[in-house]
Amino acid sequence: MMVDWGFAAQIAGIGFLTVFVVLGILSLVLWLVSLLLNRVTGKAQKAKTEGG
- Number of residues located near another protein, criterion CB under 8 A: 29
Residue 27 in the binding site for another protein (CB under 8 A)? yes
Residue 1 in the binding site for another protein (CB under 8 A)? yes
In sequence order, what are the residues at sequence separation of 6 or more whose Cβ sits closer than 8 angstroms to the Cβ of residue 23? none
Residue 22 in the binding site for another protein (CB under 8 A)? yes
In sequence order, what are the residues at sequence separation of 6 or more whose Cβ sits closer than 8 angstroms to the Cβ of residue 51? none
The minimum distance between CB 24 and another protein, in angstroms, equals 6
Start-end of H helices in 1-52: 5-51
Residue 45 in the binding site for another protein (CB under 8 A)? no
